């Protein structure tokens, strides 16, 4: 397991770590709103659910010319799950498979989010990343 994070993900971690508690909550809300909607071709497709998120969150990975694309779907009533997914999407989009597999599952530990959303809820972040990695490892992801 590599100790370094992909550059964009490291930027996001730092971004959260540098602000105070209230701003951190607002930042997570901003990320939540920034989650890209599913492309039309994936609508209605059955996606893998992340069961550790209490509210439904679905994940789909695709690899194109060695670069990973991440897609998530979550209802608007689940802004926390959407925020976590958006951090992973924004931080890892376009990375190589190896970069993502080498991303430590506890990457979010230094973000200071636990006191905003609770330590228990932070488990979802690792769970989402674990699903992404597993899809990439079991080559569920269509490779083109």
Instruction: Give the interface with another protein as residue ranges (CB under 8 A).
Output: 25-26, 28-29, 32, 51-52, 54-55, 76-81, 83, 115-118, 120-121, 134
Which of 15/52 has CB closer to another protein?
Answer: 52
CB of 85 to another protein, least distance (A): 13
Which of 80/103 has CB closer to another protein?
Answer: 80
Give one word for 66, left, alpha or beta, with left for phi > 0 and alpha for psi -120 to 50.
Answer: left
Nearest to 85 by CA among 125, 119, 134: 125
Q: How many CB atoms lie within 10 A of CB 66?
A: 10
Which of 5/74 has CB closer to another protein?
Answer: 74
CB of 64 to another protein, least distance (A): 26
Q: How many CB atoms lie within 10 A of CB 64?
A: 12
Sign of the C-alpha dihedral, residues 64, 86, 44, 39? negative
CB of 114 to another protein, least distance (A): 10
Asked if residues 132 and 70 have their Cβ atoms less than 8 Å apart, the reply is yes
**Alpha-carbon span 19 to 67, nearest angstrom:** 31
CB of 17 to another protein, least distance (A): 19
Which of 24/97 has CB closer to another protein?
Answer: 24
């Amino acid at each position: 397991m590599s100790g370094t994070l992909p550059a964009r993900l490291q930027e996001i971690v730092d971004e959260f770590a540098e602000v105070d508690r209230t701003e951190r909550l607002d930042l997570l809300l901003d990320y939540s709103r920034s989650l890209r909607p599913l492309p039309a071709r994936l609508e209605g497709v059955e996606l893998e659910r992340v069961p550790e998120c209490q509210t439904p969150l679905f994940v789909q990975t695709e690899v194109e010319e060695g670069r990973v694309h991440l897609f998530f779907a979550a209802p608007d009533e689940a802004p926390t799950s959407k925020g976590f997914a958006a951090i992973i999407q924004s931080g890892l989009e376009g990375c190589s498979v190896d970069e993502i597999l080498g991303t430590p599952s506890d990457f979010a530990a230094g973000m200071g989010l636990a006191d905003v959303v609770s330590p228990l809820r932070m488990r979802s972040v690792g769970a989402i990343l674990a699903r992404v990695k597993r899809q990439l490892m079991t080559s569920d992801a269509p490779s083109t």
